[in-house]
Amino acid sequence: MSVQTSPAKTERGKKNLRVTKTLFGQIKEYLQEMHAAKQDGSKMIVWNGGPQIIPMEILHAMDFLPQQIDSMAAVFAAKQLSKRFIEATERQGYSHDICSYYKTVFGYLLDGLDIPEVAGIDWPQPDLLLGSRSVCVLHPLGIRMFQRYLKIPAFVADTPLIHPRMDQHHEPEKRFAEHSTIGVHYKHAIDDHYLDYTKDQIRSLIKFLEEVSGKKLDYDRLREAVALSSRASELFLEIQDMRRNVPCPVGAQDIMPLIAPSFYWAGTQRAVTIYEEARDEVKENVAQGIGAIPDERFRLYFEGIPPWYHLGLFNYLAERGAVSVAETYPFEFVHVMDPDKDPLDNLTDKALRYLYNSPVQERSDMVLNYVRPYHIIGAIAWDAICCKIFTGFAKLMSYDLQKEFDIPTLIIDADQADPRDYHPAMVQNRLDAYLELLEERMG
């Protein structure tokens, strides 16, 4: 008898925007493109485990077909396949406590390639692997794990982590007052030796890509890709800006899936077109006073990676009048760039100023800077124990929110891709209590 995932754990988020409802269709089209390329050898499939410093812009400009490892895992989780794949990986001896994203995709290679359940999301095996040390120490190890298994070329880049003394002129007392905001994640100056080192890493990446593909990078195409990526970022930020409106015109149910263009297609017209459509729809909602949820009472900040296997979490909140009006995760790869700058300088800047490469205090400041303009009264942090980037940050953020605004944070201990680490009764109980608390505070 097969083991069924409990229905209480798995519900899709109710999307409101037309463009979000068609997004998965576009992902499937891209997948078909990859299969066709795999068949005729016209383009190389790349699995990118480090888009923070391995720019998708370069990959698209060089006609690779890149896919991001985290995104694949999110799709498998949404299709209720991640548990099976994670278990396949753990049977090889991998720990329960390491990244569920990487375990999901590795498990797909072990146990998912030919199963009927992956129809429509059967990502072809890559020809190349790329990764970076930015963000998380597991990522480069994960890439090597994939490389050993697939026996294909791999490149891992290094990025210096930004610490508060990256700029000798950094003035700590200006934090929060001199705010960092989504889209320009780390505003302070960065000394030249960090920039030179990182740019050198990107040059090494280009050299590697040119060697494996036999094609040279066309810098004009790269310039164009950078411009398109920047334009897509501007559009996504425009959407975020409109969420200040009351009622909020678009909630996390739509924003989370809308991560896809900036993850998969940064540097392409496709991403720009999708965000243009989304922006126009959201603008229409604002003009007509249409909110993401019918009876908006609680405006929340949502921290962390959502449970992709159960985006119905946001439906549960919506039924109770709660909407997430701001997050930072969807804007991970959003970065507005200067068209007059050299594209490699732009991408170097993007890599170093990357959200999760920044000091945690900067990240916390970004959250604090959402509170007043977005009329936020509460915060939920989805604290995945396997993801050190988030699990370490939630407490600092909750402390700062309490100190600056007397806003309590609900920290929920559950995973983003592993439904075994999600306990519906526990989560529901905490959500109910938290919303009751907010209700009382509102008087």
Partner 1 sequence: MLTAGIDIGSLTSKCLILEENKTAGQVVLPTGRGGEATANKVFQMALDDAGVSSSDIEYIIATGYGRISISFQNKTISEITCHGKGVYSLFPQARIIIDIGGQDSKVIRLNDSGNIDDFAMNDKCAAGSGRFLEVMAQALEVDLPQMGNLALLAENTIDISNTCTVFAESEVISLVSRKIPINDILAGICNAIAERVYGLAIRKLRGKTTEGMVVMSGGVAKNAGVLRFLEQKFGHRIIVPEEPQLVGALGAALIGQKNLRSQQQ
Q: Which residues bind partner 1 (CB under 8 A)?
A: 402, 408, 413, 421, 423, 425-426, 429-430, 432-433, 436-437, 440-441
As measured in angstroms, the least distance from the Cβ of 384 to partner 1 is 12
d(CA 311, CA 9): 10
Task: Closer to partner 1 by CB, 400 or 421: give it.
Answer: 421
Q: Which is nearer to partner 1, 164 or 408 (CB)?
A: 408
Closest to partner 1 by CB, 291 or 378: 378
Residue 321 or 408 having the CB closest to partner 1: 408
Q: How far is the CB of 317 from partner 1 (least distance, A)?
A: 15
Judged by beta carbon, residue 286 or residue 427, the one nearer partner 1 is: 427
Q: How many CB atoms lie within 10 A of CB 67?
A: 25
Question: Smallest distance, Å, CB 248 to partner 1?
Answer: 25
Joined together, the tokens standing for residue 65 give: 């077909």
Dist. CA 159–CA 243, nearest whole Å: 33
Q: By C-alpha distance, which of 365, 363, 437, 438 is closest to 404?
A: 365
Nearest residue (CB) to partner 1, 33 versus 413: 413
List the beta bridge partners of residue 68: 48
* Complex with partner 1: residue 203 or 403, whichever CB lies closer: 403
- Quote the least distance from Cβ 407 to partner 1, whole Å: 10
Smallest distance, partner 1 to C-beta of residue 440, A: 4
Residues ≥6 apart with Cβ < 8 Å to 163: 359
What stretches of 65-136 show up as alpha helix (H) in DSSP? 69-78, 82-90, 100-111
- Say how far apart CA 48 and CA 66 lie, in whole Å: 6
Which residues fall within 8 angstroms of residue 19, CB to CB, at 6 or more apart? 258, 274, 277, 278, 281
- Least distance (Å) from partner 1 to the CB of residue 409? 9
Q: Do 327 and 314 meet the contact criterion of CB atoms below 8 Å apart?
A: no
* Cβ-based nearer residue to partner 1, 362 or 421: 421
Least separation in angstroms between residue 436's CB and partner 1 is 5
The structure tokens 């493109």 sit at 33
Phi, psi (deg, nearest 5) at residue 180? -90, 145
Q: Shortest distance, CB of residue 383 to partner 1, whole angstroms?
A: 9
Which of 107, 26, 126, 25 minimizes the C-alpha distance to 66? 126
Tell me the chain's radius of gyration from C-alpha atoms: 21
Q: Which is nearer to partner 1, 124 or 321 (CB)?
A: 321
**Residue 237 Cβ, how far from partner 1 at the closest point, in Å?**
32
Q: In this structure, what DSSP letter does residue 179 have?
A: -
Q: Residue 249 has which token pair?
A: 């015109």
DSSP run (H or E) holding 380: strand 378-383
Among 51, 85, 88, residue whose Cα is nearest residue 71: 51
Helix axes 82-90, 69-78, angle to 10 degrees: 120
